[in-house]
């Protein structure tokens, strides 16, 4: 069947959005109706169900131990610690129930998932990972702490999104096995680099932006295959080492001064419209080794995919918020290692599942929660193959006949993700505000769950930063026994021994902010996951392109052709 493009009006924001012929082909292939929300509203709805790093004090409902969890006690979730959840002390089939055709599907399903035990934090500590207790959306790693949305890493601390790195601290979007990195943002295969951004295969460099194959460079942008450069000027080895020494990057005051200077230097340099590496026929930003993929952001190895973010190796997938090694998945949150996983949340290694909540290694399940190794199940109840398909078809028909209508009058039939107003997270607990910031009043007006007070300890500090040495060389080991107060939000925080040892090894001064403030500072350095149509700012060039730099930004943005002529 041949399709033509069709313009629709988003039922949420009322904006017009296009559904292209290849979109219709995808929806037909997976057997779902075309969406009624625009891509941005679909994304915001998903993210209202995703908490990446806001942690709460909670109690395991099985062993009664105190735990940290992405779910607050007020969420109503039946929260288990990682050890208890993965144990044989319970079974999800104990919570099986019949589907009630007299009730709406979405309300019924959300009530159900709140009954079934859920992982306090999603990780495989003690299963596939070792010594990685304080992590979330995390797997197959070793000796990691306060690390989120990562896998196959070792010795990571305060990292958000990593693929296979080692000895990395306070960094964001790390790709392909980087090692000994500090305060990096979107770097690929780098070694011993600090304060680097959008750089590939660089080593022993500080304060670099969009550099490739560079060694021992400082305060540089757009360089290729260089060594001993400072502010893009070539120096001898001796001259370069003297310049680096003058910055005193072992001191907190020296680093602050260098950050301010580098920010001004980078702003004065030209930018390319997007950061893609080895991509063909792709649009988006922060892409690596992709082909035929559109509107993808921070994705590695995407193929024939659309509207994907923070993912690794999606093939023929649409509308995903994080996931790794998956195919034909749609409208989901972390459907890792899955094929045909639709409308799922943190459900891994599955095949042909829909509305799976924290389900693993299962196939042919619909509207289930907490299932492991399940087959032909609905609401955690087992059926024969024939019974399963007949029941699922009947439920889908009922979802169309009796849709959920939220408090704003928005209609949710089969084909839509879970309604945001039913989320077990408050809006400010989720990562939605990173992309769609709203005031409390706007959250209420638009039907989102309003967050309560987030857990935060203050007033416990035992030492003032004015008494902490400026240089890491003068810092004493006893500081790991002290409690500090963040100089931005006043949150009490500690240093762990592994962290202190890393700072010593890398000659990095002790931080003066808590993890959350440091993380939000790094997040502010990234461009938004949006595209604008712009023209090249090179005089005389008429090329146009899609870019993540909004038109009102201060940077000078060139088209790819003009940029390459300048930097190579």
Alpha carbon distance 494, 480 (integer Å)? 7
pLDDT at 277 over 90: no
Average pLDDT over residues 361-369: 98
Residue 542 pLDDT grade (very low, low, confident, very high; cuts 50, 70, 90)? very high
Would you tell me how many other CB atoms lie within 10 Å of the CB of residue 369? 25
pLDDT in the model for residue 49:
97
Alpha carbon distance 169, 177 (integer Å)? 14
Under 8 Å between Cβ of 62 and 90 = yes
48-100: per-residue pLDDT in tens?
Answer: 999 999 999 999 999 999 999 999 999 999 999 999 999 999 999 999 999 99
C-alpha dihedral sign at 195, 199, 202, 207: negative
- For 87-95, the CB contacts below 8 A with 24+ separation are 89/62, 90/62, 90/117, 92/116, 92/117, 92/368, 92/369, 92/370, 92/371, 92/372, 92/374, 92/380, 93/371, 93/380, 93/381, 93/382, 95/369, 95/370, 95/380
Q: Which letter, b or e, does each residue of 171-186 get, where b requires 16 or more Cβ atoms within 10 Å of its Cβ?
A: bbbbbbbbbbbbbbbb
Instruction: Read off the tokens for 385.
Output: 């193959």
pLDDT in the model for residue 170:
97
Instruction: Read off the tokens for 285.
Output: 């930003």
Q: Which letter, b or e, does each residue of 138-152 get, where b requires 16 or more Cβ atoms within 10 Å of its Cβ?
A: bbbbebbbbbbbbbb
Instruction: Read off the tokens for 109.
Output: 């399903």
C-alpha dihedral sign at 562, 204, 151, 451: negative
CA dihedral 80, 86, 90, 94 (to 10 degrees): 90
pLDDT in the model for residue 491:
94
Of 466, 463, 467, 475, the closest CA to residue 509 belongs to 475
Alpha carbon distance 552, 538 (integer Å)? 17
Q: Are strands 118-119 and 79-80 parallel, antiparallel or unpaired?
A: parallel
pLDDT in the model for residue 488:
94
Exposed, middle or buried by CB within 10 Å (0-12, 13-18, 19+), for 471? middle
**What's the DSSP call for residue 388?**
H
371-428: per-residue pLDDT in tens?
Answer: 999 999 999 999 999 999 999 999 999 999 999 999 999 999 999 999 999 999 999 9
Residue 568 pLDDT grade (very low, low, confident, very high; cuts 50, 70, 90)? low
Backbone angles phi, psi at 363, to 5 degrees: -150, 145
Of 422, 305, 366, 341, the closest CA to residue 39 belongs to 305
User: DSSP letters along 189-201, please?
Assistant: S-EEEEEEEEEES
Alpha carbon distance 258, 260 (integer Å)? 5
- Residues whose CB falls within 8 Å of the CB of residue 412, separated by 6 or more in sequence, listed in order: 106, 403, 404, 405, 406, 419
Residue 453 pLDDT grade (very low, low, confident, very high; cuts 50, 70, 90)? low
Residue 125 pLDDT grade (very low, low, confident, very high; cuts 50, 70, 90)? confident
Residue 2 pLDDT grade (very low, low, confident, very high; cuts 50, 70, 90)? confident
Q: What is the mean pLDDT of the chain?
A: 95
What percent of the chain has pLDDT above 90? Answer: 93
**What's the DSSP call for residue 430?**
S
């Amino acid at each position: 069947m041949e399709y033509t493009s069709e313009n629709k009006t988003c039922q949420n924001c009322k904006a017009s959005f296009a559904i292209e012929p290849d979109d219709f082909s995808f929806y037909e292939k997976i057997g779902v109706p075309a969406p009624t929300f625009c891509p941005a509203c679909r994304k915001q709805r998903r993210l209202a169900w995703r908490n990446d790093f806001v942690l709460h004090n909670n109690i395991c409902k099985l062993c009664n131990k105190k735990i940290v969890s992405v779910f607050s006690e007020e969420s109503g979730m039946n929260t288990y610690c990682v050890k208890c959840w993965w144990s044989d002390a319970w079974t999800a089939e104990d919570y099986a129930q019949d589907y009630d055709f007299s009730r709406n599907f979405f309300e019924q399903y959300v009530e159900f998932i709140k009954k079934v035990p859920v992982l306090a934090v999603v990780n495989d500590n003690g299963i596939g990972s070792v010594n990685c207790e304080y992590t979330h959306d995390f797997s197959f790693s070793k000796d990691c702490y306060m690390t989120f949305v990562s896998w196959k890493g070792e010795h990571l601390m305060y990292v958000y999104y990593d693929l296979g790195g080692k000895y990395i601290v306070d960094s964001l979007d790390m790709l392909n096995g980087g090692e000994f990195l500090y305060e990096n943002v979107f770097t690929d295969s780098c070694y011993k680099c600090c304060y680097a951004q959008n750089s590939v295969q660089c080593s022993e460099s500080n304060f670099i932006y969009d550099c490739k194959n560079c060694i021992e460079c400082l305060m540089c942008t757009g360089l290729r295959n260089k060594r001993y450069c400072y502010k893009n000027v070539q120096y001898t080895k001796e001259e370069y080492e003297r310049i680096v020494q003058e910055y005193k990057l072992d001191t907190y005051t020296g680093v602050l001064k260098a950050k301010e200077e580098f920010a001004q230097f980078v702003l004065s340099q030209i930018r390319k419209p997007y950061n893609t590496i080895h991509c063909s026929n792709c649009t988006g930003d922060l892409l690596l080794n992709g082909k035929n993929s559109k509107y993808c952001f921070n994705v590695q190895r995407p193929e024939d995919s659309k509207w994907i973010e923070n993912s690794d190796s999606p093939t023929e997938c649409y509308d995903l918020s994080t996931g790794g090694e998956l195919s034909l998945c749609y409208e989901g949150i972390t459907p890792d290692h899955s094929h045909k996983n639709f409308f799922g949340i943190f459900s891994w290694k599955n095949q042909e599942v829909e509305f799976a909540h924290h389900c693993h290694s299962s196939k042919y399940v619909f509207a289930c929660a907490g299932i492991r190794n399940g087959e032909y199940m609905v609401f955690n109840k087992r059926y024969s193959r024939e019974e399963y398909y007949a029941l699922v078809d009947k439920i889908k028909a009922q979802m169309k006949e009796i849709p959920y209508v939220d408090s704003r009058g928005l209609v949710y039939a089969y084909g839509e993700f879970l309604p945001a107003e039913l989320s077990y997270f408050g809006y400010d607990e989720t990562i939605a505000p990173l992309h769609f910031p709203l005031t409390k009043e706007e959250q209420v007006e638009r039907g989102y769950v309003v967050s309560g007070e987030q857990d935060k300890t203050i007033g416990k500090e035992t030492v003032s930063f004015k008494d902490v040495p400026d240089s890491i060389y003068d810092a004493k080991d006893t500081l790991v026994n002290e409690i500090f107060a963040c100089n931005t939000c006043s949150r009490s925080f500690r240093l762990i021994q592994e962290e202190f040892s890393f700072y010593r090894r890398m000659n990095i001064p002790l931080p003066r902010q808590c993890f959350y403030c440091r993380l939000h500072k790094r997040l502010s350095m990234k461009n938004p996951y949006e595209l604008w149509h712009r023209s090249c700012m090179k005089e005389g060039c008429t090329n146009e392109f899609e870019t993540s730099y909004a038109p009102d930004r201060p940077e000078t943005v060139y088209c790819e052709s003009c940029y390459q002529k300048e930097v190579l």
